[in-house]
């Protein structure tokens, strides 16, 4: 029998089972959580104009437990309501001050105290009055804790598996206590329950001297000695073999994990709960039912109606998680006992990977065993935590919202076991594909809400911006989440006024933030920045978008088969056979919509084919793609065979899987897999291609056409399609850092409508055409911007067809009407700063003297930081935060008479802005598109007055104030930067608009680049235009075509080729366009100079960096961003995945055009840096020439320059065959910067 070294009295009481949580005392029968219909109200003219609260964004609301004032809580909820939000998520932090950690203070104010329950009631009652949703984090901190689990040996606390070992000579006798040098060490006072005592022979007799793992064992030699261990923990055994053999005795012990979260409750320590057993759920349920969900609280929450219980991502640490019946569940689920194969887990960490493994099996079976560990971990997390937690929450009228990742979890499967799956911008690094793994759960459940914790940027508190072409800001993160399936934003976040007492920086002005004044964004609220008021329009806008994104059901062209055990954990493989697509993959370039399906999804009863679609009531996929899978379970292969038999196209990319993932009966399972797959590929519906690039053409040939097909091969615009019975809604997002315009064919019937999510207006489009494939529309989007188009045959109060209208006459020639640049402004700033009391929320406001500003070169206006006496101004705005009012009075000549539409271009603005023209305030502005602001109806010949009110962030004031700890942060540039222009569009005279698609471009010394300029002809007749360019010193420019024809009512794009000689600073390119009918226009481009041909800090199309593999949080773009603090990392999280001569890694830069190159530079990453590589060049990206070879490259972050004879090339790459690895074999290689230089010798 297995011997328990020690079992606590608590364990003896509870280990045998889980008690059901009792019903709340005197509670009324619970109402169900909000239904899908409630969370997805119908889109009508009324709901689109004023989105209902359930579709509006929420705020994460931090507070110092119950150390709050009821009136302040009510005021903050009212503030959240007034800013256009739909709810708040309550999350606690510790308090600050001399009493904050005293037991008496925590007994009164701690989480879970009677006062906390009353605060919950107070917040719920006020939220009900304001029609706000109110959510609660599952415990005061994450991972989950409760005040009642304070004994390290409480069986409800998290458990771990640790091991100790002793090497023994063969042919000897061992007589003594089991090894106890456990790794990691059990917590002090923790009981140790013996799981296994094993003896195994080393494949290499010298394994006892091996410094790094894994040490290989002969699996056939393993002896299970667990039953021979005495009650006193001793063992007597004769070691087999002879003196030439080395054996190892390994003791595996279950013990408490020991992780705790303290100073939140009246007790300590508060141990993290077991996330792999129902006992952990039970601990939460019992405490809530007994201490928080009082009858009064229950009644208040019933009034709110929309309440989520939220669990953040799992941050359980790196030790190997276990639970009381892990071995039994493993045997039940995987078909064999894990006891004799536990050496494959020794030191493999929380996710069962071999990075730090101490032992493994020489026959290669270890990876299968570790996969079984991960699968069992995943199954227990779902079955023993998510399912019972969801049931308990639903019985108490709460929905379970969860970030189901952080351990070895199949996130896409786990997401189907919660009411609201959630992702996050921070650890997803805004990766659209990661959001797709989360959103599929809601799609298959038929629930309309997919949530995102946004936008927690590091070291950005008091400084985050809404958006703009220079800094896409928060909106870029939001839009990328929407592109991945998100339908609810939860802003991170809204801190309570103050964190407590004393002089801590969060108890003085400006007030509480999350983690202090150098930590994560953001500290929204009335005490926050001047830009806070601008978020009313932003939240209205996002509410409309979220309303659209919850209509009908999601509609996908393709499903991608994927199994992964570890989004945001060390087990994430996102590489090779488990790769997520890149968001500019071949499928994206052709306009296909897709989502990921795991093996578990294919086992669902709803995984059926009807009318040629998989999951016809959910995603409606018209094909499934199985790409480069090396393993597959037999039951999955059979399901694919069934689906193919039902007529669903199955596309196999690359080789067929060669093996099953698990260990049990592997040979027979592999043979059966081969048989099933052989039958699969004979099915008429199954097709094979060599790589993913071939998939779109194959799908098109099968009649599976894309939902939103671009006219040209381009992944600039990504789409999300939601289908109602009579409406198709398309969310279109430009994922690039430059503007794009293209024709897109949208699948569907009827009239296209523009749904303006900034104004709430629904307008029929008139410029479109119908084809056999759908409706062709022009899609023009600025960088990181989004828009919504609906196709419908409806004719009602929401979708009104266009009324017939005549065409206004346009003269044959232009007699002088053209763009006007506004150069002269008066600026007056209302300064926001620390008030006299210095208390949280006491922000003083003062009107500073007005000052005159005149635009400089290329129409640029100075930032506030440059408006100082030292620069000749009579006011000092250097460290000022606040709201600045820019006023310009200008005169338009008579040629502007009759202008019907005109566009205002503000250039760049930081942060939010409103515009008033001739005493009329304009509708809310789109921060991503400030160059197409319609103002024609307000302009008039003669004198006009425009005011632009710009609201800054609070950072500059915070960094300048005493006691904030932010003095070391960099000053921000605020203001209206311009250039500010007015361009007539629709007028009695013919007009042109001329725009640079890239408003900034890098242009290095000795380098080349290209500026794309779009010329739109607003006359009904074709014109011939001439193109002239002007540049500053050190730049040569040549238009691709100096004369070209532009059709009437259409646009053409031309290119200007640039050659640079400047190594520093910036300059300008001016493109003047004159039409044969007298119309004219002008575009401006800012050129950023350096000595590095590869540097791209503007996000321009070129230079373009590429890598053969990368980890999504360490993309190749980090190689050319000019910052050694960021870095690229190749794929690989297990030994042996690092580059070798047989499996090299490549990083390459496409310079856009051939140019002379003479050296490259690299900035290493210490022991992770490339060690051996070739420098290669190419003119076409196909044929490569080695120009230098590097051996033992420096590892430091200092720039290492490799010189070679000057050569002409467009492409330059590093062909890496070895790295400086901390241990052999290596995991991956990393590089901070990769630079290319025209001069031999590198930068000067």
Q: Of all helices (H) and strands (E), which one includes residue 412?
A: helix 411-414
Mean pLDDT value of segment 1175-1202: 93
Strands 192-201 and 223-224: antiparallel
- Count of CB atoms situated within 10 Å of the CB of 897: 15
- Count of CB atoms situated within 10 Å of the CB of 945: 12
| Closest-CA residue to 1030 (of 1100, 1084, 1080) | 1084
Percent of the chain residues topping a pLDDT of 70:
95
Contact in structure between 489 and 452 (CB atoms under 8 Å): yes
Q: What confidence category does residue 414 fall into, taking pLDDT thresholds of 50, 70 and 90?
A: very high
Q: What is the pLDDT of residues 11-58, one digit of tens each?
A: 333 333 333 333 333 333 455 677 888 999 999 999 999 999 999 999
Angle at 892 (CA atoms; ends 887, 895), nearest 5 degrees? 160
Greatest alpha-carbon pair distance for the chain in Å reads 107
Rounded-to-integer distance, Cα 672 and Cα 681, Å = 14
Contact in structure between 637 and 677 (CB atoms under 8 Å): yes
Q: Counting Cβ atoms within 10 Å, is residue 632 exposed (0-12), middle (13-18) or buried (19+)?
A: buried
Q: What is the pLDDT of residues 86-144, one digit of tens each?
A: 999 999 999 999 999 999 999 999 999 999 999 999 999 999 999 999 999 999 988 99
Q: What is the pLDDT of residues 258-281, one digit of tens each?
A: 999 999 999 999 999 999 999 999
Question: What are 624's two structure tokens?
Answer: 């499934």
Q: Of all helices (H) and strands (E), which one includes residue 487?
A: none
pLDDT score for 1137: 79
Q: What is the pLDDT of residues 855-899, one digit of tens each?
A: 998 889 999 999 999 999 999 999 999 999 999 999 999 999 999
The CATH class that applies to domain 815-956 reads mainly beta
Question: What are 217's two structure tokens?
Answer: 């064992």
Q: Of all helices (H) and strands (E), which one includes residue 602?
A: helix 599-602
User: From residue 487, how far is each of 78, 376, 896 by CA, in Å?
Assistant: 24, 31, 44
Q: What is the pLDDT of residues 796-831, one digit of tens each?
A: 999 998 886 666 778 888 888 999 999 999 999 999
Using the predicted structure, report yes or no on whether residue 566 has a pLDDT greater than 80.
Answer: no
Which of 387-401, 794-808, 1174-1188 has the lowest average pLDDT?
794-808
pLDDT score for 325: 97
pLDDT score for 225: 98
Say how many residues make up the chain.
1244
Laid out side by side, the sheet with 650-653 consists of 594-597, 558-561, 624-627, 650-653, 686-689
**What residues pair up with 1189 in beta bridges, in sequence order?**
1174
Fold of the domain spanning 1104-1237: Jelly Rolls (2.60.120)
- Our separate counts of H helices and E strands in the chain read 22, 64
Rounded-to-integer distance, Cα 1173 and Cα 1192, Å = 9
Q: Counting Cβ atoms within 10 Å, is residue 299 exposed (0-12), middle (13-18) or buried (19+)?
A: middle
- Count of CB atoms situated within 10 Å of the CB of 1140: 16
Rounded-to-integer distance, Cα 399 and Cα 135, Å = 9
Say if 710-792 and 815-956 have the same CATH topology: no
pLDDT score for 10: 34
pLDDT score for 23: 36
Laid out side by side, the sheet with 820-822 consists of 820-822, 980-986, 901-905, 933-934
pLDDT score for 569: 44
DSSP-assigned letters across all residues of 1075-1103: ETTS-EEEEEEEEE--S-TT--SS--SSS
Contact in structure between 34 and 54 (CB atoms under 8 Å): yes
Global pTM? 0.94
Rg of the chain, C-alpha, whole Å: 32
pLDDT score for 32: 61
- Which is more confident, 472 or 328? 328
Most confident of 472-481, 558-567, 1218-1227: 472-481
Angle at 654 (CA atoms; ends 648, 655), nearest 5 degrees? 100
- Domain residue spans of the chain: 36-142+403-548, 571-704, 710-792, 815-956, 1104-1237
In sequence order, which residues have a C-beta less than 8 Å from that of residue 1157 and are 6 or more positions away? 1093, 1151, 1177, 1206, 1207, 1208, 1209, 1212, 1236, 1237, 1238
Which of 243-247, 275-279, 523-527, 809-813 has the lowest average pLDDT?
809-813
Rounded-to-integer distance, Cα 370 and Cα 663, Å = 9
Percent of the chain residues topping a pLDDT of 90:
85
Give all strands (DSSP E) within 1066-1199, no chain letters. 1066-1075, 1080-1088, 1104-1107, 1128-1129, 1145-1163, 1170-1178, 1185-1190
- What is the residue-averaged pLDDT of the chain? 93
Q: What confidence category does residue 348 fall into, taking pLDDT thresholds of 50, 70 and 90?
A: confident
Rounded-to-integer distance, Cα 737 and Cα 991, Å = 28
Using the predicted structure, report yes or no on whether residue 637 has a pLDDT greater than 60.
Answer: yes
In sequence order, which residues have a C-beta less than 8 Å from that of residue 970 and are 6 or more positions away? none
Residue 1155, φ and ψ in degrees, nearest 5: -155, 165
Q: Which overall architecture, per CATH, does domain 710-792 show?
A: Sandwich (2.60)
Contact in structure between 261 and 141 (CB atoms under 8 Å): yes
| Closest-CA residue to 1178 (of 1205, 1140, 1149) | 1149
User: From residue 872, how far is each of 391, 887, 1142 by CA, in Å?
Assistant: 68, 20, 63
Q: What is the pLDDT of residues 721-776, one digit of tens each?
A: 999 999 999 999 999 999 999 999 999 999 999 999 999 999 999 999 999 999 99
């Amino acid at each position: 029998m297995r011997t328990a070294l020690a079992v606590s009295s608590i364990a003896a009481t509870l280990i045998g089972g889980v008690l059901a949580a009792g019903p709340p005392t005197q509670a009324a029968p619970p109402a169900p959580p909000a239904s899908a219909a409630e969370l997805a109200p119908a889109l009508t003219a009324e709901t689109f104009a004023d989105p209902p609260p359930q579709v509006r964004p929420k705020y994460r609301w931090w507070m110092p437990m119950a150390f709050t004032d009821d009136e302040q809580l009510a005021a903050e909820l009212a503030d959240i309501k007034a800013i256009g939000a739909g709810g708040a998520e309550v999350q606690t932090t510790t308090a600050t001050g001399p009493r904050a950690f005293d037991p008496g203070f925590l007994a009164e104010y701690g989480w879970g105290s009677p006062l906390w329950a009353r605060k919950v009631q107070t917040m719920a009652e006020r939220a009900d009055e304001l029609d706000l949703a109110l959510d609660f984090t599952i415990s005061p901190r994450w991972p989950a804790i409760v005040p009642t689990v304070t004994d390290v040996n409480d069986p409800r606390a998290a458990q771990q598996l640790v091991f100790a070992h002793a090497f023994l000579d063969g042919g000897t006798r061992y007589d003594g206590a089991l090894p106890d040098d456990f790794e990691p060490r059990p917590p002090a006072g923790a009981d140790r329950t013996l799981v296994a005592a094993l003896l195994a022979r080393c494949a290499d007799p010298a394994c006892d001297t091996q410094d790094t793992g894994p040490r290989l064992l002969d699996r056939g030699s393993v002896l299970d000695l667990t039953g021979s261990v005495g009650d006193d923990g001793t063992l007597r055994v004769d070691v087999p073999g002879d003196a030439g053999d080395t054996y190892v005795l390994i003791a595996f012990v279950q013990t408490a994990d020991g992780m705790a979260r303290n100073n939140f409750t009246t007790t300590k320590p508060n141990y993290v709960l077991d996330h792999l057993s129902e006992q952990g759920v039970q601990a939460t349920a019992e405490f809530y039912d007994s201490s928080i969900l009082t009858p009064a609280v229950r009644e208040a929450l019933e009034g709110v109606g929309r309440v989520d219980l939220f669990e953040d991502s799992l941050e359980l640490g790196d030790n190997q998680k276990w639970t009381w019946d892990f071995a039994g569940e493993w045997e039940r689920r995987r078909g064999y006992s894990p006891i004799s194969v536990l050496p494959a887990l020794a030191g493999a960490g929380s996710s069962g990977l071999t990075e730090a493994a101490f032992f493994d099996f020489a026959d290669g079976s270890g990876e299968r065993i570790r996969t079984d560990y991960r699968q069992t971990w995943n199954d227990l997390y779902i079955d023993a935590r998510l399912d019972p937690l969801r049931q308990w929450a639903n019985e108490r009228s709460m929905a379970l919202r969860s970030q189901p990742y952080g351990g070895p979890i199949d996130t896409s499967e786990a997401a189907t076991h919660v009411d609201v799956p959630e992702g996050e911008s921070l650890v997803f690094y805004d990766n659209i594909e990661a959001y797709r793994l989360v959103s599929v759960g809601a799609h298959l459940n038929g629930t309309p809400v997919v949530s995102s914790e946004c936008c927690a940027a590091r070291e950005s508190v008091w400084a985050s911006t809404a958006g703009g072409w220079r800094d896409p800001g928060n909106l870029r993160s939001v839009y990328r989440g929407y592109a991945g399936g998100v339908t609810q934003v939860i802003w991170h976040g809204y801190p309570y006024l103050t964190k407590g007492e004393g002089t801590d920086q969060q108890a003085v002005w400006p007030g509480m933030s999350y983690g202090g004044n150098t930590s994560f964004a953001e500290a929204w609220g009335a005490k926050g920045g001047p830009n806070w008021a601008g978020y009313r329009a932003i939240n209205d806008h996002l509410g409309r978008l979220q309303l659209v994104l919850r209509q009908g059901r999601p509609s996908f062209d393709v499903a991608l088969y994927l199994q992964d055990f570890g989004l945001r954990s060390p087990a994430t493989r996102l590489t090779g056979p488990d790769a997520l697509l890149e968001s500019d993959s071949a499928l994206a370039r052709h306009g296909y919509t897709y989502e990921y399906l795991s093996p578990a999804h294919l086992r669902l009863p709803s995984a059926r084919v009807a009318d040629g679609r998989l999951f016809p009531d959910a995603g409606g996929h018209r094909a499934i793609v199985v790409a480069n899978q090396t393993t597959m379970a037999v039951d999955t292969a059979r399901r694919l065979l069934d689906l193919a038999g039902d007529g669903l196209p199955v596309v196999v990319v690359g080789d067929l899987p060669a093996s099953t993932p698990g260990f049990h009966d592997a040979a027979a399972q592999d043979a059966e897999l081969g048989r099933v797959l052989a039958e699969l590929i004979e099915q008429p519906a199954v097709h094979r291609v060599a790589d993913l690039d071939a998939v779109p053409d194959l799908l098109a040939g099968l009649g599976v056409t894309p939902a939103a097909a671009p006219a040209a091969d381009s992944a600039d615009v990504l789409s999300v399609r939601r289908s109602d019975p009579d409406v198709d809604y398309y969310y279109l997002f430009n994922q690039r850092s430059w503007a794009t315009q293209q024709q897109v064919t949208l699948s569907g019937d009827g009239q296209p409508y523009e749904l303006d999510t900034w104004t709430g207006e629904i307008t029929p489009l008139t410029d479109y055409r119908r084809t056999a494939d759908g409706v062709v529309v022009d899609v023009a989007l600025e960088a990181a911007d989004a828009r919504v188009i609906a196709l419908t045959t409806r004719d009602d109060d929401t979708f009104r067809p266009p009324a017939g209208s005549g065409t206004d006459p346009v003269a044959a020639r232009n007699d002088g009407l053209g763009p006007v640049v506004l150069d002269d402004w008066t600026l007056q700033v209302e300064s926001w700063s620390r008030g006299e009391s210095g208390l949280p929320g006491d922000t003083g406001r003062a009107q500073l003297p007005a000052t005159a500003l005149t635009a400089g070169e290329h129409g640029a206006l100075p930032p506030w930081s440059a408006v100082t006496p030292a620069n000749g101004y009579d006011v000092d705005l250097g460290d000022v935060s606040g709201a600045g009012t820019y006023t310009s009075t200008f005169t338009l000549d008579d040629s502007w008479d009759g202008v019907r539409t005109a566009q205002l271009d503000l250039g760049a603005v930081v942060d939010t802005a409103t515009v008033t023209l001739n005493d009329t305030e304009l509708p809310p502005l789109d921060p991503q598109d400030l160059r197409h602001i319609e103002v024609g109806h307000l302009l008039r010949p003669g004198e006009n007055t425009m005011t632009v009110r710009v609201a800054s962030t609070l950072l500059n004031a915070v960094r300048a104030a005493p006691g904030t700890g932010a003095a070391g942060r960099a000053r921000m540039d605020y203001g209206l930067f311009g250039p500010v222009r007015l361009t007539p569009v629709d007028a009695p005279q013919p007009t042109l608009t001329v725009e640079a698609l890239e408003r900034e471009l890098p242009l290095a010394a000795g380098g080349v680049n290209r500026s794309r300029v779009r010329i739109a002809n607003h006359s009904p007749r074709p014109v011939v235009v001439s193109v002239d360019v002007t540049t500053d010193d050190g730049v040569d420019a040549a238009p691709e075509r100096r004369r070209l024809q532009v059709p009437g009512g259409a646009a053409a794009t031309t290119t200007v080729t640039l050659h640079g000689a400047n190594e520093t600073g910036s300059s300008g390119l001016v493109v003047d366009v004159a039409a044969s009918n007298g119309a004219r226009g002008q575009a401006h481009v800012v050129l950023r100079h350096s000595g590095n041909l590869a540097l791209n800090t503007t996000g321009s199309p070129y230079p373009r960096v590429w890598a053969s593999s990368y980890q999504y949080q360490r993309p190749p773009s980090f190689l050319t961003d000019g910052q050694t603090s960021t870095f690229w990392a190749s794929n690989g999280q297990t030994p042996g995945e690092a580059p070798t001569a047989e499996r090299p890694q490549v990083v390459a830069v496409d310079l856009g055009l051939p140019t002379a190159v003479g050296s490259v530079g690299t900035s290493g990453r210490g022991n992770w840096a490339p060690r051996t590589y070739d420098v290669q060049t190419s003119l076409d990206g196909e044929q490569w020439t080695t120009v230098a070879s590097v051996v033992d490259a420096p590892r430091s972050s200092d720039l290492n320059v490799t010189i070679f004879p000057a050569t002409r090339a467009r492409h330059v790459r590093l062909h890496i065959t070895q790295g400086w690895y901390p241990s052999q074999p290596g995991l991956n290689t990393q590089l901070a910067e990769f630079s290319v230089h025209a001069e031999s010798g590198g930068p000067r």
